[in-house]
Amino acid sequence: MAMSLPPDLHMHTPLCRHAQGEPVDYARRALAAGLTEIGFSDHSPMPQDDFDNWRMRLDQLDEYVDKVLHARHEVPGLTIGLALEVDYIPGHEEWIRDLAARHPWDYLIGSVHYVSEAWAIDDPQKLSEWKHRDPHEVWSVYFDRLKMAAQSGLFEILGHLDLPKKFGHQPPPGCRALYEPLLETAAKFQCAIELNTAGLRKDCNEIYPSREILELARKKGVLITFGSDAHAPEEVGMNFGEAIQLAKAVGYEDCCRFEGRKRFSVRF
C-alpha cells in the first residue's frame, strides 16, 4: 500500500515557553513515524516581548532559525520547512511584513488567538472569560479576523479554523452563516486551511475544522494542509490517519506544501 503521509506543517519548539523537545528531536520522531516532510511554525514574536508569555522573544528569532537549520543538517533524510505561526491581529500587518522579511521562510501560518486586546480564546488561564461573553459574538469576531487574515495576503495557511471550540464551546447554530464568506475568501485568496489534529487532544475532541466546515471548504475549492500542532516530539504526525480519512471522506486527494513561499501540490 504505502500511500505517502502528507507533510506535517505545524509544530512548535521550546522557545515559545510551552513546548518540549528540540527541533532535532521532532525531526527524528517524524522520520520514525514515516513522514517525509515537516515544517516548524513556532509562535512568532510580538512587537512587545511582554505582550504575553507563550511565544519567543524577538531577540530569539535568529536562534529559532538556527535550531531549525540545525535539524535540517542533522536529519538530512527529512524535508524540513522553516515557518512561523503568526498571530493575526488587525493593525499588526506592518509588523507581520517586517517579520516576513527577516528570514527565508517557506510559509507563514496566520492564526487568530486574540479576539480582543487581552483575550486569547485558547489560553487555559483565560477560560473563565467565556462566562462573560456572548458565544455568538466571540465566534463572529473570531471568523471576522480570520477572514481579514485571509484577505491580507500575508499567509499561506490559516491555522486551526474553528479554534474557539477548543474547550467545548461549539459554534451556536446561528454561526453557520459565517462559514461561507470565510471559506469563499480563503478560496479567492488561495489561502489554504489546515486539518489540525491538536483538537483531538483537547476538550472538543475533534479535528480543527469540523467535518461540516471541511465539506463546505471542499465545495468552495479551498486548499488544505495537514498539521499536528505538536508541542512535544511524540505528537508529530499524531492522528494523521484520522485526518487523512476525514479529508478523503469529503473529497480531497491533494494537499499543499511550500518552499520559499511558493505552493506545491502533494497527493496523499
Binding footprint of Fe ion on the chain (CB under 5 A): 85, 111, 229
> Which residue lies nearer to Fe ion by CB, 54 or 215?
54
> Which residue lies nearer to Zn ion by CB, 8 or 229?
229
Q: Which residues pair with 83 in a beta bridge?
A: 41, 107
Which of Fe ion, Zn ion, none binds 42 (CB below 5-8 Å, type-dependent)?
none
Which of Fe ion, Zn ion, none binds 106 (CB below 5-8 Å, type-dependent)?
none
Rule CB under 5 A: is residue 87 a binding residue for Zn ion? no
Residue from 229, 236, 238, 240 that binds Zn ion (CB under 5 A)? 229
- Of 39, 66, 44, the closest CA to residue 57 belongs to 44
Q: Which residues pair with 264 in a beta bridge?
A: 257
- Of 43, 19, 13, 4, the closest CA to residue 159 belongs to 43
Rule CB under 5 A: is residue 235 a binding residue for Zn ion? no
Which of Zn ion, Fe ion, none binds 210 (CB below 5-8 Å, type-dependent)?
none
Give the shortest CB-113-to-Fe ion separation in angstroms. Answer: 6
Are the C-beta atoms of 167 and 130 separated by less than 8 Å? yes
Rule CB under 5 A: is residue 42 a binding residue for Zn ion? no
C-alpha cell, 158: 490559516
> Which residue lies nearer to Fe ion by CB, 8 or 85?
85
> Which residue lies nearer to Zn ion by CB, 84 or 244?
84
Phi first, then psi, for residue 174 (nearest 5°) are -60, -15
Give the shortest CB-229-to-Fe ion separation in angstroms. Answer: 4
> Which residue lies nearer to Fe ion by CB, 229 or 235?
229
* CA–CA gap between residue 49 and residue 97 (Å, rounded): 18
Task: Count CB atoms within 10 A of the CB of residue 147.
Answer: 21
Strands 79-87 and 107-111, bridge-based pairing = parallel
DSSP type of residue 45: P
Which residues of the chain form contacts with Zn ion (CB under 5 A)? Answer: 229
